[in-house]
Amino acid sequence: MGEALAGFWDTYQSTVGYVGLNALLALSVYTSLSCGQLALGSSGFAALGAYAAALLTVQAHWPFPLVLLVALILPAAVAVPLGLPALRLHGVFLAIATIAFGEVVRIGLVNWDYVHGAQGIVAIPQEASVWMIWLALLLALLLLSRLRGSRWGFALEAVREDEPAARTLGIATTRYKLAMLVAGAALAGLAGALEAHFTFMVAPSGFTFGRVVEMLVFAVVGGTQRAWGPVLGAAFLTVLPEALREVAPRVGLEPGPLRLMVNGLVLLAVILFLPAGLASLPQRLRERRAAGRGA
Amino acid sequence: MSALRLEAVERTFGGVRAVDGASFAVGPGEVHGLIGPNGAGKTSVLNLVSGLLAPTAGRILLEGRPVHGLPPHRVAALGVARTFQNIRLFPELSARDNVVVGQHLRRRGASLAARLLALPSSRAEERAAREAAGALLGRVGLSERADEEARHLSYGEQRRVEIARALASDPRLLLLDEPTAGMNPGEVGAVATLIRGAAEGGRSVLLVEHNVRLVMEVCDRITVLDFGKVIAEGAPAEVARDPAVVAAYLGATP
């Protein structure tokens, strides 16, 4: 039994790590979504955190906790001058502006010889472990879910539901939107740094537009009503490909394309049948059962 | 000193002068009616006072302090709260939580750090906020509906929640934009009592309303707008006799 468990852990510990990393990244998009803002700069913030951390470890040999602290603070500091003008935009325009930021970071890294351009930085010491990733995730989740029900949490919900009305109640909406963008940037930077030290490498190809769309899909599939929704979505969509790896040969498909197909189908199904995400499933079932009894 | 004073306030939208050099004042503790035909610029005046619009000319003074051009959250912090003609509650929040959001400015003591650390002080503060919100809902007659999501409430109930949400900040000046639109006569009577009650203790009320009987009943003074200009001002009985007002409402030629 113990041996089987150890075998299972050897096979799947990297998956467990990726679940945690993807969940952190999903939360980095969720922070802005929680006050109604579609900000998609997370791949750029994650790249900043990952590269800063990798350089500090490889070139400067800084202790890892200090490296993580920089990976948390640097993207957060960049988010302030980015957010002040960008958060004047709404909806799809904010999304476009923040996507552009991510692309600027990625293309900048591709063309920066000091960090080996498209090849990226390799042979980063493996300082991050699964427990560190999950500790970071649990702390982030705890802090974000504690906001709910507080003066802050209510202000965020008010901004999400009706921004002009929120302003007439004395809520400085820009300040809240900026704070959540900064918090998301810090989470993305932390996730980037942990990932760099978990997979031994960073490269610009890890921080594409596709990557931030993936984070958004995690959040939407899991649900953005509560902080644990994006975590659930990230876990579901990270574990699913592992299961598909077994299925793919039997249906005569490569695992890669099958994964994309299934992801697309899951997203479609959630948007059509469960618009508040997987996290709302228990409540939906309860409501249906109650309705069944009432009929 | 006037609670609110407008001095030659003007607001244009393209070529349209929605508010055209309007001047009037609301005294402390006064319920002041703002009436006029459709399109007279009444809602624009409320949007200008609450900071959602900036005037293109003129001054707006709150207890002597210029507020024109300030963003809405700064105006709110100076003691102005409002309701909207096209109800703007937070639809997914319960009636109680809508009122709790309205307390935002008063809950300065609620520290974020205390909340994140789950200190008992923050829990006590939140319980007090919910209880105060419940008490306000009781005042507008909605105790039983406190935990219902705002979007599930009837039109009249939503209007009353919006009034409770506006009162939650304990404003010096309350702006009401057609608070009885869509209400049945019984509900209108309750709102009349509510408006008089809100003006107790020195609070001023600026009321935009189409229900003339209600305006005559609750207002101390009335300003009449037509095409963005003030055409009459005075006590309800005086205004009702004013030939310019009759002409504006009935389209009679003088």
Q: Does B81 touch chain A (CB under 8 A)?
A: yes
Looking at residue A136, its pLDDT comes to 97
Say if residue A45 is exposed, middle or buried (CB neighbours under 10 Å; 0-12, 13-18, 19+): buried
Residue B187 lies in a domain: no
Is there a domain that residue B198 lies in?
A: no
Is B186 inside any structural domain? no
Separation CA A68–CA A187 (nearest Å):
11
Given its phi and psi angles, is residue B39 left (phi above 0), alpha (psi -120 to 50 degrees) or beta?
Answer: left
Q: Which residues in chain A have their CB less than 8 angstroms from residue B50's CB?
A: 168
Q: What are the pLDDT digits (tens) for B164-181?
A: 999 999 999 999 999 999
pLDDT at A5: 79
Instruction: Please check whether residue A172 touches B, CB under 8 A.
Output: yes
Same domain (yes/no): B61, B98: no
Domain count, chain B: 2
Please tell me the predicted confidence (pLDDT) of residue B161. 96
Q: Are B132 and B54 in a shared domain?
A: no
Give the minimum alpha-carbon distance from B13 to chain A in angstroms, rounded to a whole number: 19
A161/B91 touch (CB, cutoff 8 Å), yes or no: yes
Question: What averages of pLDDT result for each successive group of 10 residues across chain A (295 residues)?
Answer: 78 91 98 95 98 96 96 98 94 95 97 93 92 97 91 95 96 96 98 96 95 95 93 94 81 80 88 89 87 69
Tell me: do B35 and B102 sit in the same domain.
no
Residue with tokens 């594409």: A208
Question: A171 to chain B: which residues are within 8 Å by CB?
Answer: 73, 101, 104
User: What chain A residue is nearest to B76 in terms of C-alpha separation?
Assistant: A170
Look at residue B122 and tell me if it is in a domain.
Answer: yes
Instruction: List Cα–Cα distances, B8 to A167, B11, B47, B58, in angstroms.
Output: 26, 10, 16, 5
Domain housing B56: 1-79+171-181+203-254
Query: Considering CB atoms only, which of B97, B100, B104 is closest to A171?
Result: B104
Domain assignment present for B253: yes
pTM, full prediction? 0.92
CB contact under 8 A, A164 and B52: yes
Look at residue B246 and tell me if it is in a domain. yes
ipTM of the complex: 0.92
Same domain, B58 and B177: yes
Q: All domains of chain A, ordered by start, with CATH?
A: 15-294 (1.10.3470)
Q: Are residues B64 and B175 in the same domain?
A: yes
Is the Cβ of B96 closer than 8 Å to some Cβ of chain A?
A: no
Cβ–Cβ gap B110/A166 under 8 Å: no
Identify whether B194 is part of a domain: no
CATH number for B5: 3.40.50.300
Same domain membership, residue B60 and residue B99: no
- B77 close to A (CB below 8 A): yes
Residues B68 and B35 in one domain: yes
Q: Is the pLDDT of residue B123 over 80?
A: yes
Is A169 close to B129, i.e. CB distance below 8 A? no
Cβ density class B197-211: b for 16+ within 10 Å, e for less: ebbeeebbbbbbbeb
Residue type, B141: G
